[in-house]
Amino acid sequence: QCILVCPVGAIKERSAVDAVWAAIADPTKHVVVQEAPSVRVSLGEELGLPAGTLVAKKMYAALRRLGFDAVFDTNFTADLTIMEEGSELVERVKDGGVLPQITSCCPGWVKFMEHYYPELAPNVSSAKSPQQMFGAVCKTYYAEKSGIDPKDIINVSVMPCTAKKFECQRPEMNDSGFKDVDYVLTTRELARMIKEAGLDFASLDEEPAEDLLGLYTGAATIFGATGGVMEAAIRSAYTLITGRELENLDIEPVRGLEGIKTASVNIDGLEVKVAVAHGLGNARHLLDEIKEGVSPYHFIEIMACPGGCVGGGGQPIRFDSTLKKKRGEALYEEDRNMAKRCSHHNPSVEKIYKDYLEKPLGKRSHKLLHTEYTSRPVV
């Protein structure tokens, strides 16, 4: 079944709703769900709540009522991404590796790079996106911990993004030995399921996600806004390099909706220069600088959608230009109110390294959490 999203009917969004209902109804399957950072500040709009309402805990409750067997959170693997990607940056800076490093968590940007800038693939972090990291650890680490055969696990993700539907189909995203992520629902599709189930979303009592793959920090939640991945990475990279905590965790220059944002962070005498672009037109400026050999940056964040994932193609469709701003502000407010605001302080991240992965960039991390890119030149 398809939902029409293009005004002239040229492009159709393939819906996963029926397949997910079928998986939930299958008693032989253990159906697990993860939700991206920005979904928690946009889902409410489809269900009668004001834009920018943080609904993470109502969303967990709703997912349990829909019949999911385990409710986790992509924010957990956003923190894991920072550990891997931040360690990769530190390694590149210390060992004279390829710089600038560019973020890899947006599949829209990654595919654009493979088509139009394949020569820059060595600059792109090898870290998988949080969605795909989740899939890989769910069908290995979680399967082992819970004693469930990974062949019986169905992994569903809820994303702000139609490009994530493509990402989970990539042939290299099977590092668990199975398809790491089985189905991707957009924010709109989850709202549709909640309506189909007749749930009164606004009146649901709040519930937590499950700890093992569900705890997260403020650094993870701001992934949903442009500049958020960069800010989260700086918070942890500072500690990884110096062994000390960054005093001011609010990296204001990389926040907001300006097309290209830049900042410079002094880490023990090293001036680390960073840039953030959202929207691929803005990204081209930074990418062309790299090609011309004049990029002054060590680390660049690129998100394909204007505003980052809060403005993603799977989000509620409204013709209100203030929405992205309200959704982004809600993410920064959640971050401000959290007791732990740095990915390296996530106790479930500490646990997965201790019990299973050993260390960032270690052998098992490399197998499950990192990937390679494919050159797809446009001729």
Determine the interface stretch with ligand SF4 among 27-35, 160-168, 210-218, 280-288 (rule: CB under 6 A): 160-168
The reply to whether 185 sits near ligand SF4 by the rule CB under 6 A is no
124 vs 240, which CB is nearer to ligand SF4?
Answer: 124
The one among 16, 280, 290, 309 contacting ligand SF4 by CB under 6 A: 309
88 is a catalytic site residue:
yes
CA–CA distance, 88 with 122 (Å, rounded to integer): 12
Per the omega criterion (within 30 degrees of 0), is the bond before 7 cis? no
Q: What is the CA radius of gyration of the chain?
A: 19
Q: How far is the CB of 299 from ligand SF4 (least distance, A)?
A: 17
Q: How far is the CB of 370 from ligand SF4 (least distance, A)?
A: 18
The reply to whether 184 sits near ligand SF4 by the rule CB under 6 A is no
The reply to whether 161 sits near ligand SF4 by the rule CB under 6 A is yes
35 is a catalytic site residue:
no
350 is a catalytic site residue:
no
At which residue do the structure tokens 């998986």 appear? Answer: 23
CA–CA distance, 234 with 82 (Å, rounded to integer): 9
227: left (phi over 0), alpha (psi -120 to 50) or beta: left
The reply to whether 158 sits near ligand SF4 by the rule CB under 6 A is no
168 is a catalytic site residue:
no
The one among 100, 130, 135, 160 contacting ligand SF4 by CB under 6 A: 160
At which residue do the structure tokens 């899939």 appear? Answer: 135
**Catalytic-role residue among 12, 119, 144, 172:** 172
Q: How far is the CB of 79 from ligand SF4 (least distance, A)?
A: 17
Q: How far is the CB of 54 from ligand SF4 (least distance, A)?
A: 18
**Residues contacting ligand SF4: total by CB under 6 A:** 12
CA–CA distance, 246 with 260 (Å, rounded to integer): 24
CA–CA distance, 33 with 111 (Å, rounded to integer): 25
309 vs 369, which CB is nearer to ligand SF4?
Answer: 309
User: Are 331 and 37 within 8 A, CB to CB?
Assistant: yes
Cα-Cα end-to-end distance for the chain: 33
Give, in degrees to the nearest 5, the angle at Cα 108 between 66 and 212: 40
Give, in degrees to the nearest 5, the angle at Cα 114 between 260 and 311: 45
Active-site residues: which are they? 85, 88, 105, 125, 164, 167, 172, 309
Q: Which residues bind ligand SF4 (CB under 6 A)?
A: 106-108, 160-161, 163, 303-305, 308-309, 312
